[in-house]
Amino acid sequence: MLKPAVLLLLLMNTTLADSPPNVLFIAIDDLRDVAGYFPEAHPDARTPNIDRLSARGISFTNAYCQAPMCAPSRNSLMTGLLPSSTGCYGFQPRRDIPAMDVATLPEHFRNNGYTTIGTGKIHHGSAPSGHGPDPEEWDEYWPSIERPRDKSMGTYATHYQPWGNLEWGATVEGEEAQGDYKHAEWATRRIDQGITQPFFLGVGFYRPHLPWAVPSAFFDDFSPADALSPIPRKEDDLDDVPEAGEFFAHYISAGRVADDYTISRLGWNNEALQAYLASVEFTDRQVGKVLDALARSPYADNTIVVLWGDHGFQLGEKKTWKKFTLWRESDRVPLIIVVPDKLAGKTCNAPVQLLDIYPTLVALAGLPQPDHTLEGHDLSPLLENPTADWPYAALTTAGENNHAVSTERWRYIRYFDGGEELYDIQQDPHEWTNLANDPAYAEIKTILAADFPAYNAPNAPGSTFADFYDRGNWDMAATKAESMRTFEAEFEKAQQAGYSPIKKEQPASTKATN
């Protein structure tokens, strides 16, 4: 006699062909353009599991986030609404913004008969913070709706902390001490146990978000750090950038100056790169576990897989070690979509955006449109033909009235004070030469400007980084001087107190920012 679990799997398998497609929805925090399918992928990066997923579907080389910050990027994707439409430019709780009182992506699937289960960082923050996840979205969430992400990291073997929250180091314990490992294990067990179909399974990974604290074995894979290929960098890269862009890069806070100043002075560029690549490899391994569970399950032939990153991260380009800017390293993201029995192993160079995921999944699953109007575009034509005509540009917003428009060839940035940057990314993929002030490109700017939003919603209440993203004016010279004075004073105080940028055997922080 068949055991109940075996019988259940057989029953699910017999009805699979007649079922609506399942969805595996994988989110990765701070993952920039290092996966193998990117033309500019770092030559030392190790992403074998993301690469094998890429071989099964369509990988987008010019996908962009809606905002270079966790909360507004995820809020936009999950609601299908632009930041400029809602006023959610920063860390404002989604539930506090009337314009975002709509059915989110998993909620819409749940409203239409899907079993929705999730784990890890899908929304920003946690339910008590007002960001989500919410009970109306999910049938099941691990560890819980109130505590969606396990933040454990283990103990540092070596700890680098140039400044503030820019810190990294190899950890003593193995993978099992890491929160992302636990999320992958939970997702794997749930797939193995069986999930009522059709289902929407969300799996969110926190690494390579700071701190870059992963087991020593992953650091060893990139040792010695001095042998790594350096990140392309131009020392005078900010010379042709307008003041608003320079402000975003350096003078948002003393810490923004301190990051590059300290790393460069101590010669830690390679060590920082090693830590980021180690964190990427660690996360890639967790992704592989979930993909393996799906492959051996009865759902393998009827599950759409979407892998995406919420924004990029600058690793010293333009002397910046953060996201939050409108440059390509902060804004471009991995996006891979696998649809069973469709094209596989192809790349698409069309400019797309995370905003497009909601309408695309609605179309692929055959669901009705939600009650609110989605502002993205269905990517189905590109999944059928990656070179199909695509008349749309991608839009990224960093605070009220600061935007970047991206096409296959151009990136045009305009700040709230009128400052501009224009880059021909086919000829200048690192955005080293700003063409905005060259009259020969005036017509190009006019064409691209048509894709800036006609309406810029005012900042919604809450934490928005308004002190720098949305300042009406500033005295740049005074701001620079104040920022440097603050940094020098704090650094001198730290040195007098015996501060050492390298520490041994320190517990990894469990208070990492979301």
Catalytic residues: 70, 124
State the amino acid at position 139 in one-letter form. Answer: D
Q: Please give the structure tokens belonging to residue 403.
A: 């935007």
- 3-state DSSP call for residue 264? helix
DSSP 460-488: PSS---HHHHT-S---HHHHHHHHHHHHH
Parallel/antiparallel/unpaired status of strands 140-142 and 115-120: parallel
Contact 87, 457 (CB under 8 A): yes
Q: What is the DSSP string of 196-225?
A: PSSEEEEEEE-TTSSSEEEEHHHHHTT-SG
Nearest residue to 487 via CA among 263, 252, 166, 255: 255
Instruction: Name the nearest CA neighbour of 381 among 425, 345, 337.
Output: 337
Whether residue 133 has a cis bond before it, omega within 30° of 0: yes
- Residues with Cβ within 8 Å of 216's Cβ and at least 6 positions away in sequence, in order, are 157, 170, 171, 172
Strand blocks (E) in 358-513: 394-397, 403-406, 410-414, 420-424, 502-504
Instruction: Check: CB of residue 459 under 8 Å from CB of residue 83.
Output: no
Give the amino acid at 484.
M
User: Over the Cα atoms of the chain, what is R_g?
Assistant: 22
Instruction: Pick the closest to residue 329 from 192, 446, 250, 233 (CA basis).
Output: 233
Q: What is the C-alpha separation between 244 and 18, in angstroms, rounded?
A: 55
Tell which residue, 381, 161, 394, 367, has the closest CA to residue 258. 161
β-bridge mates for residue 199, sequence order: 115
